[in-house]
Structure 1
Amino acid sequence: MKSAIARTLTTLLHGALRGLLRAWVLVVPLVLALSLVRLGQLAYFWPSGYQASGADLTAVVIQGLRFDLKVSAIAGFVLLLLLPWVSGKVQARIAGVVAFVFVMASLVNLHYFGFYKTPIDSLVFGLVEDDTAAVLETIWRDFPVIWTLLLAAALTWAAIALHRGLVQRLQPDTLLQTRHAMTKVLVAVLVLFAMLFAGKGTLRQMALQRQHLTVTTSQFLNDMVPNGIIALKYAWDSRGQSQNLSDPLVGLKAMGFESPQAAAQALGLPMGSDEEVKAALYQHDPLPMGTAKKNLVFFLMESWSAEPMLYQSPQFDVLGRLAPTLTDPSKVCHFRNFDSAHAGTHPSLEAILFSTPITPLTLGDVGRKPIPWALAKVVKDAGYQTLFVTSARSGWRDLNRVLKVQGFDEVVDANTLKEAYPEATLGIWGVWDSYVFKYLSKRMAAQPTDKPLFVFVLTSTNHPPYDLPADYQRVPRDMGLWKGETNSETLIPNLDSYHYAADLLGGFVQEVQSGPLKDTTIIAGTGDHNVRSFGVYAEASRRYLVRQVPFVIWGSKLHCGNQLDQPASHRDMFNTLLPLAGIDAPYINAGRNLLKPLSAQPDPVNAPRAMFFTGEARNAQGMWQLGNKASFVCSSAKPPAAQCEFNALDDQQERARYGLLDWHVRISLKK
């Protein structure tokens, strides 16, 4: 009995080891074949007269090789279900099929780039959604199908030949047959972990993702990084994430309204027709005659939570140079009861730029076409030069493509900043935020006075793992002054990176306020979302903090009004900033103007409430999920004067606002 068990275990061990070694023997020719296609693609599409540095070319080749290794290792790992148990002849056939699929996908990617000037994206699925016969006929007429198939066959044959040679030389089936069992176990474990790390694409950093396709400032070179398999994978992801906008009433019905007219009625808006309701979403107070346009610089600060600011003091410094900029009410309006739109960077970014509760909105086909009410487009049409600056890689979530389509004249990212400042180091998320502020100072000083500038800045350093530059001087703090939760082991590192980012922003604000642009520039900043380091906010008394981020406006001769402590959220920011900057344009009224004094009379459209775009709302008493009375939680920085309870009218009006914003996106973008 024991000998039978031992024989079975030995057989399984031999099979596992044989499969792992066979998988690695398969990975090598796949990687080489994909890399050859990439080099051929670079040569085939190299623009006439185009110059690129050796460093950029090396970065593209190395990053491409890493993605090739990633997809090949994943294929080998999946095939472990078969490779240990099949014969050598079947193993060779499997290798041939996989090699052909990988090579053919990359050759398709090559031709796709030649047609669309982009790697394979979600449009590729038009092959089955459009007139398939017509598409295939067009491909047959316009592309070298025969030559492509012949090249695929030649590369596949070469991969098979290399695979056969490796099998004969390394003999994965018998290499360790006579070795000790413990040696076999050790080798199996090492080879397995090597396969896993290869599939991850890195040893110590995060796994290779879409954002890592951006390695240079050249879009052409970046487009050479993905092989056909990874491009197809990301295209599939985008397709799955894109929303079905065919039914414009989906969101309204989810909020309890059968039509946009019913929702408009709840808000006291005109409701004669769909067109009248839609027009009402764009109505706003006209600006006084002769209002001059000002530069508008907006910061979306990574993980810039509101809670640390509650405890700011000389003994607990989390703001650095930002602290003194928050004291003069004629120069700053600090909204202290403010929520983000989402719990993630990209959803908040989309909510701000496109006033959409639907996310992801722009990862598919929608992002490839101009959205008429996109913030940057509206401001650009008003006569501004528009600039997006980030310390991250703009290849993340396809921002490098989407933002230029949606109204930004320029997109400056980590690779641009690395080129401008060679001493900058590229980390997990990009370069240190300091290079953003260096770039902005130089750029704004050179801006022509007759062309107002709109800058949207996205920072990245205040993000896990909370790494900071080697020369950053950490600030000692009395942690006894921290009144929040202390469970997170990353609390102190997070406070350090928070201070780093806030201090840089404060330095920039001080520079502008003491310079020639002080009277012609509005600066604003908010956080994209709260962070888990500062707690889970399970206690009802602290629950109001769960979504809170700062919202601060700096300018000259400001009149902040009576809403600084009223509930507000991301949807209100540009309804406030655009009039302040002198921009009279057809922007959507996603929220209210926070500098406009609250009316003594009830006003559904301008009521002091906050909205979280996953379907939650908050008033001065507490917070709740829209349409769910039982979810209401009494939670407020100050005990409410009135009895704390669910307000059905508040809920109805917020459901109407949410439903109309959803409807507006769907009806406007419906195909």
Structure 2
Amino acid sequence: MKPAIARTLTTLVHGLLRGLFRAWVLVVPLVLALSLIRLGQLAYFWPTGFHVSTTDLASVVVQGFRFDLKVSAVAGFLLLLVLPWVSGKVQGRIATGVAFLYVMLSLVNLHYFGFYKTPIDSLVFGVVEDDTSAVLQTIWHDFPVIWTLLLALALTAGSVWLHRVLLRRLRPDTVLQSRHIAIQLALAIVVFFALVFAGKGTLREMALQRQHLTVTTSPFLNDMVPNGPIALKYAWDSRGQSQNLQNPLVGLKAMGFNSPLAAAEALGLPHGSEAEVKAALTAHEPLPPGTPKKNLIFFLMESWSAEPLLYQSSQFDVLGRLAPTLMDPTKACHFSNFDSAQPGTHPTLEAILFSTPITPLTMGDVGRKPIPWSIPKVIKDAGYQTLFVTSARSGWRDLNRVLAVQGFDEVVDANNLKESYPDATLGIWGVWDSYVFKYLDKRLAAQPKDKPLFVFVLTSTNHPPYDLPADYHRVPRDMSLWKGETSSDTLLLNLDTYHYAADLLGGFVQSVQSGPLKSNTIVAATGDHNVRSFGMYAEPARRYLQRQVPFVIWGEGLQCGPQQALPASHRDMFNTLLPLIGVNGPYVNAGRNLLRTPQATPMDAPRTLFFQGESRNAQGQWQLGNKASFACSSPPGAQPAAGECQFNASDDQQERARFGLLDWNVRSSLKK
């Protein structure tokens, strides 16, 4: 070999070996820091009285370590482009920056789990898509920002200290330089593939992926597996999929179906062609002749969780004037085993209005064109005047523009309410909810009798930082009657804002029930999602409460039927409400009519669907397509007999088919 070539080869091998050892010296402190945060997260959120086996706990720690090793090795691998050639000082700065980034992401993941009860997901991008100033104010007010930053700096400093110790001990810049070039080359190959397999997360099996986050039957423990970087990566992947509608089969294939025809067959729907499937998705039974059209006032109540209703009493009042409206079964149907569609307000709003598991759907070009099956459009086409009212600012997520296109004649928000009521104070998220109800009373009184009205109301006061008007008198409660978790430091504040919003709703319902519109007006209300203050729901006995929100319908002469205690969810609401108010049209059969006796068909089965890929039946809940994730959990009095609580493959297939068809309907109809 010529001397010049030999020198070049030696330089390259020395550089590669130096970079590889530097990468591994970086990986070790990163893995240690991420693993420490996971252990801290487990301890920080561990629910009182929650017991698991040592084996399950060890599985979580080990699997978490594997994901920590994976993301750290990926960082080391990517940095091979620079680590072989930079100075020791620059190398130290790189290590500091990467350590702080990884530590900070995992601490954000910790607080994100505390808020949403899930690792970082696509909702995290709301930081820039929502009112960023309001989001940051809420974060500052509601989270220990200073302590989190100090902890991040401390963990980063510890990682940098360990990095320097390893550098001194292992001397990666000079190791083995006296050895023969062949030995160095062989070692470089071995160390390189060690880094590759660490980034893969395994030696023999397929690389660690999202499905490997499930290692126990406890969703709480499984949520402890992902670190911040991997959770953000999966959130980014999900967001990318939701933003690209060009491939209509993406969602179907993710659910295990190669075509909409196969999914329709699993649901017992006509499946001779795609056109036949689409027609079946919007086909409805004819309404009885002469069915009168009624006003519909629908409330999507911010963070209106179901659990507080379980403890309602005169000594533990969380409902105020709403409580007596729930007593008469001929005037109120309360569906008490009911789940939300999404964990956040905007995703839930889109799921309800557009029957879409894809979110955010309407923030781009899609939102600028009418969606044919949009709920307000269907109701408007049936001859209604349509109105969206919120105590928040409608510029949030471009609602003011999107909703006007999707069938609402008017959008009234905090700014309009401030103009109508000069005494209203604009806070972080908008005005107090009381101004919404003042406006509704006035608007209903002025509505022409020959023009039915549909109002969709979005409240906002029951939201962090849980502020209330200065003239609101907080209600004393006997907290010994609260049988839920008590670890949240905002529990009491949250119960106050919960009562405030529920009491206002109750006052409105009572006003309608005693007024001239009582015979031709339906009022309905649900929550957009559960709220973090009420617990982690880690124990199997409480797990069914994790997604639960109330759903109540008020009206004259209601026949509530036998489904009030059966599993149901947001997808069922407008399949129930539209026939009740005399509206037919091309809305999607996302769910079932809860006022009817359920039929023995897949489309009528009493199950819930959480649009992030979970379902629940009378026995328990599971991630779609993941048998190992099934967890037994049912409301008191509804527990299945011994041996009956197990994963049902038929239920899973049908829910995967439903989810896949809803996804396909959106993509195939709205792609450019």
Give the TM-score band, short-chain normalised: 0.5 to 0.7
What secondary structure sits across from 2:515 in the alignment?
coil
Counterpart residue type for residue 313 of structure 2: S
Q: What corresponds to 1:244 in structure 2? A: 244
Shift of 1:203: 13
How far does the alpha carbon of each residue in 1:283-308 deviate from its partner, in whole angstroms, 9 at most, with x for none? 11111000010000000000000000
Preserved CA contact (<8 Å) 1:299 1:524: yes
C-alpha spacing 1:203/1:669, structure 2 compared with 1 (3 Å): closer
Q: What corresponds to 1:614 in structure 2? A: 612
Shift of 1:205: 3.3
Q: Does 1:205 align with 2:137?
A: yes
Q: Does 1:382 align with 2:382?
A: yes
How far does the alpha carbon of each residue in 1:125-181 deviate from its partner, in whole angstroms, 9 at most, with x for none? xxxxxxxxxxxxxxxxxxxxxxxxxxxxxxxxxxxxxxxxxxxxxxxxxxxxxxxxx
Preserved CA contact (<8 Å) 1:264 1:270: yes
C-alpha spacing 1:279/1:315, structure 2 compared with 1 (3 Å): same
Structure-2 separation of matches of 1:513 and 1:241: 46
Q: What corresponds to 1:623 in structure 2? A: 621
Note the 1:367-378 alignment, pairs <5 A.
Answer: 367-378=367-378
Q: What corresponds to 1:16 in structure 2? A: none
How far does the alpha carbon of each residue in 1:556-585 deviate from its partner, in whole angstroms, 9 at most, with x for none? 000000000000000000000000011122
Structure-2 separation of matches of 1:662 and 1:242: 10
Q: Does 1:632 align with 2:633?
A: no
Preserved CA contact (<8 Å) 1:617 1:626: yes
Q: Which ranges in structure 1 are unaligned for 5 or more consecutive residues?
A: 1-199, 209-238
What secondary structure sits across from 2:415 in the alignment?
helix
> How many residues are matched?
442
How far does the alpha carbon of each residue in 1:331-351 deviate from its partner, in whole angstroms, 9 at most, with x for none? 000000000000000000000
What is the TM-score normalised by the length of structure 1?
A: 0.65
Counterpart residue type for residue 632 of structure 1: F
Structure-2 separation of matches of 1:240 and 1:305: 30
C-alpha spacing 1:206/1:618, structure 2 compared with 1 (3 Å): closer
Q: What corresponds to 1:263 in structure 2? A: 263
Note the 1:95-494 alignment, pairs <5 A.
Answer: 205-206=137-138, 243-494=243-494
Shift of 1:552: 0.1
Q: What corresponds to 1:605 in structure 2? A: 603
Q: What corresponds to 2:217 in structure 1? A: none
Shift of 1:240: 6.8
Structure-2 separation of matches of 1:611 and 1:322: 27
What is the root-mean-square deviation of aligned Cα atoms in Å?
1.8
Preserved CA contact (<8 Å) 1:242 1:363: no
Fraction of identical pairs, as percent: 79
Q: Does 1:660 align with 2:661?
A: yes
Preserved CA contact (<8 Å) 2:134 2:428: no
Q: Displaced runs of 4+ in structure 1, greater than 2 A?
A: 200-208, 239-242
Q: What corresponds to 1:158 in structure 2? A: none
What secondary structure sits across from 2:137 in the alignment?
coil
Shift of 1:598: 1.8
Counterpart residue type for residue 449 of structure 1: K
Structure-2 separation of matches of 1:586 and 1:450: 24
Counterpart residue type for residue 626 of structure 1: L
Structure-2 separation of matches of 1:633 and 1:488: 25
Q: Does 1:497 align with 2:497?
A: yes
Structure-1 separation of matches of 2:241 and 2:255: 22
How far does the alpha carbon of each residue in 1:28-85 deviate from its partner, in whole angstroms, 9 at most, with x for none? xxxxxxxxxxxxxxxxxxxxxxxxxxxxxxxxxxxxxxxxxxxxxxxxxxxxxxxxxx
Preserved CA contact (<8 Å) 1:242 1:362: no
How far does the alpha carbon of each residue in 1:626-647 deviate from its partner, in whole angstroms, 9 at most, with x for none? 0000000000013113610000
Shift of 1:391: 0.0
Structure-2 separation of matches of 1:280 and 1:617: 22
Shift of 1:657: 0.3
C-alpha spacing 1:647/1:201, structure 2 compared with 1 (3 Å): closer
Shift of 1:201: 6.6
C-alpha spacing 1:306/1:206, structure 2 compared with 1 (3 Å): closer
Structure-2 separation of matches of 1:614 and 1:241: 13
Structure-1 separation of matches of 2:291 and 2:595: 16
Q: What corresponds to 2:569 in structure 1? A: 569
C-alpha spacing 1:404/1:381, structure 2 compared with 1 (3 Å): same
Q: What corresponds to 2:649 in structure 1? A: 648
Counterpart residue type for residue 635 of structure 1: S
Counterpart residue type for residue 497 of structure 2: S
Q: What corresponds to 1:553 in structure 2? A: 553
Structure-2 separation of matches of 1:327 and 1:563: 17
Q: What corresponds to 2:145 in structure 1? A: none
Shift of 1:586: 1.7
What secondary structure sits across from 1:329 in the alignment?
coil
Counterpart residue type for residue 623 of structure 2: Q
How far does the alpha carbon of each residue in 1:200-220 deviate from its partner, in whole angstroms, 9 at most, with x for none? 979993589xxxxxxxxxxxx
Structure-1 separation of matches of 2:584 and 2:598: 21
Structure-2 separation of matches of 1:645 and 1:242: 32
Preserved CA contact (<8 Å) 2:592 2:604: yes
Structure-2 separation of matches of 1:240 and 1:649: 30
What secondary structure sits across from 1:205 in the alignment?
helix
Counterpart residue type for residue 662 of structure 1: D
C-alpha spacing 1:422/1:586, structure 2 compared with 1 (3 Å): same
What secondary structure sits across from 2:657 in the alignment?
helix
Structure-2 separation of matches of 1:385 and 1:636: 41
Preserved CA contact (<8 Å) 2:284 2:584: no
C-alpha spacing 1:242/1:368, structure 2 compared with 1 (3 Å): farther
Q: What corresponds to 1:579 in structure 2? A: 579
Preserved CA contact (<8 Å) 1:390 1:460: yes
Structure-2 separation of matches of 1:354 and 1:467: 31
Structure-1 separation of matches of 2:290 and 2:390: 34
Q: What corresponds to 2:177 in structure 1? A: none
Structure-2 separation of matches of 1:584 and 1:656: 25
What is the TM-score normalised by the length of structure 2?
A: 0.64
Structure-1 separation of matches of 2:133 and 2:474: 32
What secondary structure sits across from 1:457 in the alignment?
strand
Counterpart residue type for residue 620 of structure 2: G
Q: Which ranges in structure 2 are unaligned for 5 or more consecutive residues?
A: 1-131, 141-238
Q: What corresponds to 1:220 in structure 2? A: none
What secondary structure sits across from 1:334 in the alignment?
strand
Preserved CA contact (<8 Å) 2:372 2:586: no
Counterpart residue type for residue 205 of structure 1: Q
What secondary structure sits across from 2:544 in the alignment?
helix
Preserved CA contact (<8 Å) 2:329 2:558: yes
How far does the alpha carbon of each residue in 1:72-117 deviate from its partner, in whole angstroms, 9 at most, with x for none? xxxxxxxxxxxxxxxxxxxxxxxxxxxxxxxxxxxxxxxxxxxxxx
Structure-1 separation of matches of 2:340 and 2:581: 22
How far does the alpha carbon of each residue in 1:229-265 deviate from its partner, in whole angstroms, 9 at most, with x for none? xxxxxxxxxx979610000000000000000000011
Counterpart residue type for residue 291 of structure 2: T
Structure-1 separation of matches of 2:657 and 2:433: 39
Structure-1 separation of matches of 2:605 and 2:242: 32
C-alpha spacing 1:507/1:268, structure 2 compared with 1 (3 Å): same
Counterpart residue type for residue 652 of structure 1: Q
